[in-house]
Amino acid sequence: MITIHEALDSVLAGIEPLGGEEVRLLDALGRASAQRIVSPEQVPTFANSAMDGFAVAGAELEAGRRQFSVVVDIPAGRYVSDEIGPGEAARIMTGAPVPAGTDTVVQVEHTTVDDDVVTIDSAPATGANVRRAGEDVTAGDVLFERGALLGAAEVGLLAAVGVEGVRVARRPRVAILATGSELVAGGQPLQPGQIRNSNSFTAYGQVVAAGGDPILLGIARDDPDETRRLMAAALQNDVVITSGGVSVGDYDFVKQVQDELGVERRFWGVATKPGKPLAFGTRGSTLVFGVPGNPVAAMVSFEMYVRPAVLALQGRPDVYRPWFLARSDEPVHRTKGRTEARRCRITHDPDGSIRFTTTGPQGSGILSSMAGAQGLFFVPPQYAGGDAGTEMLVMLLAGSGTERPPFPVPPR
């Protein structure tokens, strides 16, 4: 068995980002940019007022002048080309262009107005309350590198500089195949001994959340021919996830069928709980994951290895999750030879420091304790158990980051 880090290195080694496609700006939301984006425009485009008030020459305030005659009104959207002369002020609104001859805005709260004369009650420094042209973005600035996730702020920034379309990374096509003769598709009645297929649904959700394009291939019974037929179809995609049938049981055919179809095995078995019998290989550029059948093991395996791969295929540098060290609200149970990932919720002490609490029973089939989990915490192998307050690595199940969590691994 290999460690989490070895498994991650093996999965991420040699992944080449897929190509890109051109989309309209709003359709780029949640996608990764397929190229570096350079700003075509500056923001703000022109010097403008940050306040409602009066635009004057700062030098006149410095020289002690406190009364100005108001010669023009400048609401947002209006451009005044006339220069403001000595002793003059422009009444100006937030966002309106600061007229020639002025460089400072006195906010209205600091003035007294009598007819067309404004008295400055409190003079600001020269340049105050004026947003400089280009102070946010300069034309030619690199806004985003290739692989950057385009969220609301990023799409907004692109709109602000006049970008209307973006080349984004193609969504990786991820084939999802459930294996198991006991599985029943949704809508079918359960016969004795049968269970419902949930792994296809959790994988679908995880693929979508990672920016992939899920392709559901249904259920393969524990039969080599049927598994081979469906696996062959699955291999036409960028990524294949099969669940179940990858352990050492008499009816576990996934590895055999992968071998028959020319999938090169990179590893089988990671020293983690849940998720030990994970098989990973490649065929050409297709990444082939055989995740264990137990619903939590399948989800955790996806989270740990498939998600980073799906993000890397989009050129994302932030293939990991955000993580931190936090203290347990409860005693931490012992482990044996494997690193254990346990699901938890994040809580806080009255002083604001971060705690975590398990979401309930941690069996690898207990999907209800995965529901509502905000994170996974990692207990080192051979851990003897600890009291409440013990510090552990917590990996969030939301967001992303470029730093790999320092997963605990077995001592060499």
- Residues of the shown chain interacting with ligand AMP in the complex, contacts defined by CB under 6 A: 178, 180, 182-183, 195, 197-200, 243-245, 247, 249, 292-295
User: Per rule CB under 5 A, is residue 244 in the interface with Mg ion?
Assistant: yes
Does residue 245 touch Mg ion according to CB under 5 A?
A: yes
Reported as type and span, the H/E element at residue 12 is: helix 4-12
Handedness of CA 208, 212, 218, 221 (dihedral sign): negative
| Planar angle of CA 406, 352, 359, nearest 5 degrees | 60
Q: Which does 107 bind (CB under 5 to 8 A by kind): ligand AMP, Mg ion, none?
A: none
Does 180 help bind Mg ion (rule: CB under 5 A)?
A: yes
Q: 3-state SS string over 80-113?
A: CCCCCCCCEEEEECCCCECCCCCCEEEEHHHEEE
Q: How far is 297 from 358, CA to CA, in rounded Å?
A: 16
Residue 99 binds Mg ion (CB under 5 A): no
331-370: contacts with Mg ion (CB under 5 A):
none
Helices (H) and strands (E) in the chain, counts: 8, 26
Least distance to Mg ion, CB of residue 368, Å: 21
Residue whose CB is less far from ligand AMP, 211 or 244: 244
Contact 1, 10 (CB under 8 A): no
How far is Cα 210 from Cα 47, in angstroms, rounded to an integer?
41
Query: Does residue 281 interact with Mg ion by CB under 5 A?
Result: no
Of the two residues 97 and 277, which places its CB atom closer to Mg ion in the complex?
277
195 touches, from ligand AMP, Mg ion, none (C-beta below 5 to 8 Å by class)? ligand AMP
Name the residue among 77, 85, 129, 80 with its Cα closest to residue 103: 129
243 binds, among ligand AMP, Mg ion, none (CB under 5 to 8 A by kind): ligand AMP
Contact between residue 237 and residue 175 where contact means Cβ atoms under 8 Å apart: yes
Is residue 309 within 8 Å of residue 12, measured between CB atoms?
yes
Closest approach, Cβ 184 to Mg ion, in A, equals 13
**Binding partner selected for residue 163 from Mg ion, ligand AMP, none, CB under the kind-specific 5 to 8 Å limit:** none
For 401, the 3-state DSSP assignment is: strand
> Which among ligand AMP, Mg ion, none contacts residue 198 (Cβ within 5 to 8 A by kind)?
ligand AMP
Q: 180 or 274: whose CB is closer to Mg ion?
A: 180
Q: How far apart are CA 331 and CA 334, in angstroms?
A: 10
Closest contact distance (angstroms) between CB of 243 and Mg ion is 9
Minimum CB distance to ligand AMP smaller for 292 or for 308: 292
Neighbouring CB atoms inside 10 A of 212's CB total: 27
Among the listed ranges 21-29, 128-136, 287-295, 396-404, the one in contact with Mg ion (CB under 5 A) is: 287-295
Of 19 and 363, which CB lies nearer to ligand AMP in the complex structure? 363
* CB closer to Mg ion out of 253 and 323: 253
Residue 227, binding choice from ligand AMP, Mg ion, none, Cβ under 5 to 8 Å by partner class: none
The minimum distance between CB 165 and Mg ion, in angstroms, equals 46
Nearer to Mg ion, 20 or 245 (CB): 245
Q: Which residue lies nearer to ligand AMP by CB, 205 or 249?
A: 249
Q: Which residue has the tokens 């740990």?
A: 304
- 295 binds Mg ion per the rule CB under 5 A: no
- Report CA-CA distances (Å) from 109 to 51, 112, 113, 123, 321: 10, 8, 10, 11, 47
Which one-letter amino acid corresponds to residue 270? V
- CB of residue 244 to Mg ion, shortest distance in Å: 4
CB 253 to Mg ion: min, Å: 9
- By CB under 5 A, name the binding residues for Mg ion: 180, 244-245, 293
